[in-house]
Amino acid sequence: MSMASLLGLSTPVDVDITFADADQRKHVDIKVDKDRTETYPVYLDGETVSGKVNIRLRNGKRLEHNGIKVEFVGSIELFYDRGRPHEFLTLSQEVAAPGELRQNTSFDFEFKRVEKQYECYNGINVRLRYFVRVTVSRRLADLVHEKDIWVYSYRMPTDVNNSIKMEVGIEDCLHIEFEYNKSKYHLKDVIVGKIYFLLVRIKIKTMELAIIRRETTGAAPNLYNESETVTKFEIMDGAPVRGETIPIRLFLGGFDLAPTFRDVNKKYSTRYYLNLVLIDEENRRYFKQQEITLFRRKIDDGYPPDDEPVVNA
């Protein structure tokens, strides 16, 4: 028998949360840890979040309580600071005054036209989540139950979308120019580019292109940077000659990507970089990195593309 049972603290009820229109909503599978994936209903900024809280009494027991409340919460959790989530949004509704439950009971909740200014994110060192939390207040220990939703945010970049042109050079040994068709891409886009070899006097063995995701969390002096390679592939095998051109065509739709996030609630940023690496026959590496902006489009997620806000990205 557990210590909680010995002290009479075992939970005498089951609490369940259901969302009113979950069956009609798009759902996404999110990897929450190494071996576990969860499925969440998708909500957009400004949409109402409503549903029911179902409380089932066990074995006909009664439940004395000091009030029951339902909250809609937006929270940022920094993994190096576990136990202290930052709740940037908290809306609360009292659904029951102090009293006693003698039978199974359901309570409706509704948070109308909720502003959800940030997109959900489950990263290396940070998690941004939205959830409904039910708290049954009790004299000795509150009963708390949470259920998450997933929020997409559509922040379109400005119309300016310049191509990227860069040079990699080692004096009198190597001169390469590479060009990408634009600097801002939606999550289902295709990166199209070309690499021009203007001078080649070293023996290049292979060339790779990678997409790097760099996550920055916290604030100085507790600033943490973590990078991961989303994908890496070889775009050339063998030595190029002067005047040669290598085409690049990279489809983003097959990768697990989130939009670019910049200084979300002053807690974290997520940026993406195209990383070009040249490796010579002595395994020396030459690389050039360029930041790109990724954004989410409604049409890619099955929503009408009209009325998309245009903001700086």
Six token digits for residue 20: 């009113």
Position 92 scores a pLDDT of: 97
Question: Strand (E) positions, 45-153?
Answer: 49-57, 63-65, 68-78, 86-96, 99-101, 105-111, 121-122, 126-136, 143-152
- Answer yes or no: is pLDDT of 257 > 70: yes
- Which distant-in-sequence residues (6+ apart) come within 8 Å of 66 by Cβ? 98, 137, 138, 139
Average predicted confidence (pLDDT) for the chain: 86
- Which distant-in-sequence residues (6+ apart) come within 8 Å of 25 by Cβ? 19, 41, 42, 43
Alpha carbon distance 137, 66 (integer Å): 5
Lowest mean pLDDT: which of 80-84, 107-111, 282-286?
80-84
pLDDT band at 253 (very low <50, low <70, confident <90, very high): very high
Position 259 scores a pLDDT of: 95
Burial of 80 (0-12, 13-18, 19+ CB in 10 A): exposed
Q: Residue 92 pairs with which residues in a beta bridge?
A: 71
91-105: average pLDDT: 93
Six token digits for residue 46: 């400004």
Position 187 scores a pLDDT of: 94
Position 11 scores a pLDDT of: 65
Return the domain boundaries, the chain. Answer: 13-151, 164-300
- Answer yes or no: is pLDDT of 1 > 70: no
What CATH number labels 13-151? 2.60.40.640
Let me know how many helices (H) and strands (E) the chain has, helices first.
1, 22
Alpha carbon distance 23, 36 (integer Å): 22
Q: Is the peptide bond before 221 cis (omega within 30 degrees of 0)?
A: yes
87-106: average pLDDT: 94
Instruction: Pick from 98-102, 133-137, 176-180 the range whose average pLDDT is largest.
Output: 133-137
What CATH number labels 164-300? 2.60.40.640
Same fold, 13-151 and 164-300: yes
Write down how long the chain is: 313
Q: Tens digit of pLDDT for each residue in 3-62?
A: 343 334 566 789 999 999 889 999 999 888 778 899 999 999 999 999 999 999 988 788
pLDDT band at 256 (very low <50, low <70, confident <90, very high): confident
pLDDT band at 76 (very low <50, low <70, confident <90, very high): very high
pTM of the model: 0.85
Q: Tens digit of pLDDT for each residue in 145-162?
A: 999 999 999 887 776 778
